Homo-oligomer: A and B are copies of this chain.
Amino acid sequence: MTALSRYVPILDWGRRYSRQALSNDLIAAVIVTIMLIPQSLAYALLAGLPPEAGIYASIAPIILYAIFGTSRALAVGPVAVVSLLTASAVGQVAEQGTAGYAVAALTLAALSGGFLVLLGVLRLGFLANFLSHPVIAGFITASGILIAVSQLKHILGVSASGHTLPEMLNSIYAHLNEVNGITVLIGVLATGFLFWVRGNLKPLLKRLGAGPLLADILTKAGPVAAVVVTTLSVWGFGLADRGVRIVGDVPQSLPPLTLPGVSGELVGALLVPAILISVIGFVESISVAQTLAAKKRQRIDPDQELIGLGAANLGAAFTGGFPVTGGFSRSVVNFDAGAETPAAGIYTAIGLAIAALALTPLVYYLPNATLAATIIVAVLSLVDLSILKKTWGYSRADFTAVAATILLTLVLGVEVGVASGVAISVLLHLYKTSRPHVAEVGLVPGTQHFRNVLRHDVETDPALLTLRVDESLYFVNARFLEDLIQARVTSGSDIRNVVLMFSAVNEVDFSALESLEAINQRLRDMDVGLHLSEVKGPVMDRLRKSHFIDDLNGRVFLSQYDAWQALSHPAPAVRAAQ
């Protein structure tokens, strides 16, 4: 692999592209294209944009990701959570339906793309790890609920607004008098049908003798069937004249060349949302990519993925789209349909371009309620409250992070929710490390192994206090150890030597160094020795840069057993037997 092909992976796999791969990729592309047409329209609706934006956002981004991305199966385009975040961010700077709204969406995509590329070039992909699994799970669940509720207005046929659960419910309640019965009928039937397809069609088809791939494809085509039937109904019965809102005119055009806004005010207002969208989109995408890659023992390069997703978003910004990322359902369909290389994505893009040119008049009578139904059915599969139960059983800190993320996302909105989730995770972690577990240890008889005196039957020596410090020593807990040793050594006057067993100390920062110096000084004043054992290489390297080791009122032992042999008197009986 050359240096260039590391940054442009298409140069690597493109060179070895076979006829077999071509055939597999083409089949996958046809299936994905059919599935993406309604999905793209629906996510544009969710983002508050005209329907064609959803198709445009699936063309250039897919091609750019195929060139720069490292996943073989990832399908990039509009996804539910990112569309929701887009609606929330853009809604704060522009009125929905205005030209300013569309420009703000382009700007958001451009900022997000630029930020992702920057992270990738600086190789900062690990930053996404700050989103813990519980925070992601809580956020996705809460977003699923928010998205489903946000689509209720289309099912009811009312004009409601709001970006938080209370706002949306209030707004729907205030507009209940506008409810359109026929729209409700279409929406409820479409939703019910799609739930039935999702839950029951595949087993039914299999019982009827269809192969698994065919059953799968027909199941995924459920939304297409709903689109066709409801569009024909609206057209045939003239329901648009009876208050059913429809998609209407969609321009027949390839993706236009567009320019994101560059005003300082707009960029300033969208910068923080863009960073949030980038990080969340990246986390969602890389999870999907890694899951699929693991199945074929392929490797994903997280930093190159940042560049691939960044290029895709920049592409969306200049071709009439909005922020995109690698989506779960479309990628799984692509993978299951047999896509072998990112070329499948390029063929999908061509398919969508043809659809944008030729098929858009066909969706004129498509009711918004049908699109809302496809969104609701798709996102409710994201809602998984079992994470609350799982974390409750395992760790109260993780449970707190999930519960707070879900609650704050629903009540205060997506941005506050996810930011609070990260902050709470970090603070809980710091809180835990601020009061470290410190065990007094003794020798497990017949071994050279030392364990907690409270949990194991071990040998100890009253003149020797050995403390195993179960945490890195740094500013948050520096004073803790000082207080602890002070309390132990003044209360037990027999102690002549203190050994700090550093097997679990992975860092000693400057604050902790000053605390160790203070401990050393105090023990020296009391004529008690201070020793260290099992200090790890990197920690020892660091301590040697200070005067602490020179000034130490005792020795540094390689192993705790060495310290025990040197310092414990009289030798316990069992040890003599060894």
A449 adjacent to chain B (CB < 8 Å): yes
What residue of chain B has the Cβ atom nearest to residue A507's Cβ? B432
Chain A, interface SS category = helix
Fill in one digit per residue for A435-453: 1 if any B CB lies within 8 Å of its CB, else 0: 1110100001001110110
Please tell me if the beta carbons of A444 and B133 are within 8 angstroms of each other in the complex.
no
One of A38-46, A124-132, A243-251, A263-271 contacting the partner: A124-132
A510 near B475: Cβ-Cβ < 8 Å: no
CB–CB A479/B129 < 8 A: yes
Q: Please, which residues of chain B bring their CB within 8 A of the CB of A93?
A: none
Output the nearest chain B residue to A560 by Cβ-Cβ distance: B449
List residues of A (499-519) whose CB comes within 8 Å of B's CBs.
503-507, 509-511, 513-514
Are the C-beta atoms of B475 and A425 separated by less than 8 Å? yes
Whole-angstrom CA separation of A449 from B564 in the bound complex: 13
Q: How far is the CB of A492 from chain B (nearest CB, A)?
A: 15
Across the interface, do B447 and A509 meet the contact criterion of CB distance under 8 Å?
no
CB of A296 closer than 8 Å to a CB of B: no
Q: Least Cβ distance of A562 to chain B in Å?
A: 8
The residue of chain B having its C-beta at the shortest distance from the C-beta of A391 within the complex is B510
Which residues of A from 407 to 433 have beta carbons under 8 Å from B?
425-426, 429-430, 432-433
Q: How far is the CA of A442 from the CA of B447 in the complex (A)?
A: 17
Who on chain B is nearest to A479 by CB? B129
A474 at the interface (CB under 8 A from B): yes
Find out whether the CB atom of A395 lies under 8 angstroms from the CB atom of B537.
Answer: no
Cβ-neighbour of A448 out of B132, B447, B476 (below 8 A): B447
Using an 8 Å CB-CB cutoff, how does the interface string of A389-401 with B read, 1 for contact, 0 for none?
Answer: 0110111011000
A170 in the interface (beta carbon within 8 A):
no
Also in contact, A449 and B452, with CB within 8 A (given A503-B503, A509-B132, A511-B134): no
* Stretch in contact with the other chain, from A12-20, A24-32, A375-383, A538-546: A538-546
A449 in complex: contacting residue of B129, B398, B480, B558, CB < 8 Å: B558
Q: A395-B542, A509-B395 are in contact. Are A133 and B504 (CB under 8 A)?
A: no
Q: Does A328 contact B (CB under 8 A)?
A: no
Q: In A292-313, which residues have CB < 8 Å from any B CB? A: 294, 297
CB A88 to nearest CB in B, in angstroms, measures 25
Chain B CB within 10 Å — which of A434, A452, A511 has the most?
Answer: A511
Q: How far is the CB of A529 from chain B (nearest CB, A)?
A: 20
Chain B nearest CB, measured from A547 CB (Å): 10
A497 at interface (Cβ–Cβ under 8 A)? no
Contact in complex: A511, B133 (CB < 8 Å): yes
Identify A559's interface contact among B297, B449, B509, B545, CB under 8 A: B449
A471 on interface, CB distance cutoff 8 Å: yes
A478 interface residue per 8 A CB criterion: yes
Nearest CB of chain B from residue A446's CB, rounded to whole Å: 10
The answer to whether residues A510 and B430 also contact, given A133-B478, A470-B536, A479-B129 and a CB cut-off of 8 A, is: no
Interface contact A394-B542, CB-CB below 8 Å: yes
Given A395-B509, A545-B394, verify A452-B559 contact (CB < 8 Å): no
A391, A393, A470, A480: most-surrounded residue (chain B CB, <10 A):
A470
Docked complex Cα distance between A514 and B137 (Å): 12
Min CB distance, A124 to chain B, in Å? Answer: 10
- Tell me whether B390 and A470 are in contact (CB under 8 A): no
A437-B536 in contact (CB<8A): yes
Q: Return chain B residues, CB-CB under 8 Å to A207.
A: none
Given the contacts A538-B437, A558-B444, A558-B449, A430 and B395 also touching, CB distance less than 8 Å: no
Given contact pairs A129-B478, A511-B134, A506 touches B470 in the complex (Cβ within 8 A): yes
Cβ B476 vs Cβ A439 within 8 A:
no
Given contacts A133-B511, A504-B536, 9 further A-B pairs with CB under 8 A are: A126-B435, A129-B434, A132-B509, A132-B510, A135-B475, A391-B510, A393-B545, A398-B509, A448-B449
The 6 closest A-B pairs by CB, nearest first: A132-B475, A398-B510, A133-B511, A448-B448, A449-B559, A504-B504
A-B contact pairs, 14 of them (CB 8 A): A129-B434, A129-B478, A130-B430, A130-B476, A132-B476, A133-B475, A135-B475, A393-B545, A395-B510, A397-B509, A398-B509, A433-B472, A451-B558, A503-B503
Chain A interface (Cβ within 8 Å of chain B)? 126, 129-135, 294, 297, 390-391, 393-395, 397-398, 425-426, 429-430, 432-437, 439, 444, 447-449, 451-452, 455, 470-472, 474-480, 490, 503-507, 509-511, 513-514, 522, 536-538, 542, 545-546, 558-559, 561
